[in-house]
Amino acid sequence: MHLTRRDFLELAVITGAYLTADPVGALAKMTSEDILSFKSKGKVTLLFTTDMHAHLKPLYFMEPMNLVAPKKLKGLPGYLTGPDFLKYYRINPNTLEAYFGSCVNFPELAEKFGKMGGGEYIATVIKSVIAERGRENVLVLDGGDTWVTTAIGLFTEGKAIVDWMNLVGYDIMVAHWEFTLGKETFLKRIKELKAEFISQNIVEEDFGDLVFKPYTIREVGGAKLGIVGNSFPYTPIANPRQFTEGWSFGIREEQLQEFVNELREEHKVDAVILLSHDGLPLDMALAKKVKGIDIIISGHTHDVTPKPVFVNNTMIVIAGSHGKYVGRLDLDIKKGRIRDYSFKLIPVASNILKPDKEVQKFIKEVYKPYEKKLSEKIGVAETLIYKRDTFYSTFDRLAGEAIKDYYHGVDIVFSPGYRWGTTIIPGQEITVDHVYDFTAITYPDVHVFKMKGKHLKLILEDIADNVFNPNPFYQQGGDMSRVIGMEYEIEINGPQYNRIRNITVGGKPFNPEKEYVIAAYGGNLHRSEFSEEIKDAKPVPVYEILIDYIKKKRNIKVDTKPNVKVLDESYRTSC
């Protein structure tokens, strides 16, 4: 089917499937008060966001259909998706909560409830809670992945979001993708940032000295809180090393334990909080090893925890991604003990909440120089275009097709397993901004190189172990790299470095000795010792290739069938 925009509109009238022109009417039952309603407790309030990925503007973002887990971790928070997520948290389908937290009926609910997140709506939530509780009783935290990976983040080198955070009133943060601005810019930005940047797990490579303050102590609502920071432990491996040259990261759990003890014994804090970009599965494992942390506010894996997870005596929460939620945790603390708490992930529903006028004006100003370029309509989505999944997404297929179209003779395209991006619903116009939402990185070039089949397999096995190792301490983060042009089967619980079977390339049997032509972006692959660069294939930023391809095709229809077959776990292909 080849739908034009007009066809679609006609179809939409018939099926009623289009963005309602009157969101107020459609959402008459839901009010801003409902969204913000909260049973407050004690005097201390923690507000937190994470992994906003520089989305100052509201967006659609569908939670993944799959988060395939190794057996040991199956069914745990961090690996719950779709109907399983709704069942676990007892959320009724087709509600606002279901729309924000699962992929079930996403395109339909997107039309009903509208876009999520957005800087002026997050500001509304934070400011209204501060107004209710009093500034001295509220601490505003951010878990990182906040400044970059959209056009506005990239073009302003994170400055737009730093200014936004200052305007909203953030107190403390940790980081990950922020480091890909490069050391110099990163250090400049944290000086501009009014919030305090903390991290106990970044040290100088030579003598192991701390680069940043490891923790901070704040009096909030009459309680003394010790907040320790963990930035993403695998930043130098997951992202190009040159950005953090001379710094060493890691989990550093022994050192973390020492800081927790120091806060308790020397500073006599009432509660210890870990603000982390470790990822939920790793933080759940970490809570078993490190004693004395009361609360972990997690980030990185974009999980949504409508209820806290408890591991021994540690409460763990994580507030999703892309600005979809503001976490609110009220604490009743007396004499070094948390006596009671109240928790909610507040959905930032942009059609229901009122925008904060000051912040709205600021965002408009910030976008002004880029608005014309970014709002250009370059095509129409005929398929749901999404990014997040364990193995496959329609965005990655589209990127693969565009790259193959640009560089002739490419056998396989590697697209990185990032968790961030956006979602474009069928019938929606694709803008330049959308393309950047999926690809705005500081190292965007597509590299073309040759590699022998056996080495390719070796690298896939390596990546698979980084995703499916049953011990979260050995997972490096990210979903599986996408390989377009190649098909394979995988045994998730198979032996380390021996999970992948029955590879075919373009439908033909895989040959370990053959040299395949590979195009890749967003990773380290072209620099591996097995890669032989093809000199006459000039590296080009992936967003430029995509923009041109979408303009050329106009109507974007993508195969929704994954190229990966999971042998020993269930794998959804629709939601």
CB of 522 to another protein, least distance (A): 8
Of 136 and 245, the one with the shorter C-beta distance to another protein is 245
Q: How many CB atoms lie within 10 A of CB 208?
A: 10
**Beta carbons of 166 and 359 less than 8 angstroms apart:** no
Distance CA 303, CA 321 (A): 7
Of 127 and 457, the one with the shorter C-beta distance to another protein is 457
Distance CA 406, CA 394 (A): 18
State the residues that interact with another protein by CB under 8 A.
Answer: 176-177, 234, 236-242, 245-246, 248-251, 254, 416-420, 457-459, 461-463, 465-467, 471, 473-474, 476-481, 496-497, 522-525, 527-530, 532
CB of 144 to another protein, least distance (A): 12
Distance CA 210, CA 258 (A): 14
Of 64 and 114, the one with the shorter C-beta distance to another protein is 64
Distance CA 132, CA 45 (A): 10
Concatenated DSSP letters for 263-309? HHHTS--SEEEEEE-S-HHHHHHHHHHS----EEEE-SS--B-SS-E
Of 218 and 454, the one with the shorter C-beta distance to another protein is 454
CB of 205 to another protein, least distance (A): 8
Cα–Cα distance list, 159 to 30, 51, 193, 439 (Å): 35, 16, 9, 18
Of 220 and 459, the one with the shorter C-beta distance to another protein is 459
Cα–Cα distance list, 551 to 7, 429, 430, 431, 447 (Å): 19, 12, 10, 10, 22
CB of 466 to another protein, least distance (A): 6
Angle ∠(422,428,433) on CA atoms, nearest 5? 45
CB of 441 to another protein, least distance (A): 8
Distance CA 398, CA 18 (A): 24
**Beta carbons of 448 and 534 less than 8 angstroms apart:** yes
CB of 127 to another protein, least distance (A): 31
CB of 285 to another protein, least distance (A): 10
Helix axes 394-406, 542-553, angle to 10 degrees: 90
Of 458 and 566, the one with the shorter C-beta distance to another protein is 458
Of 358 and 462, the one with the shorter C-beta distance to another protein is 462
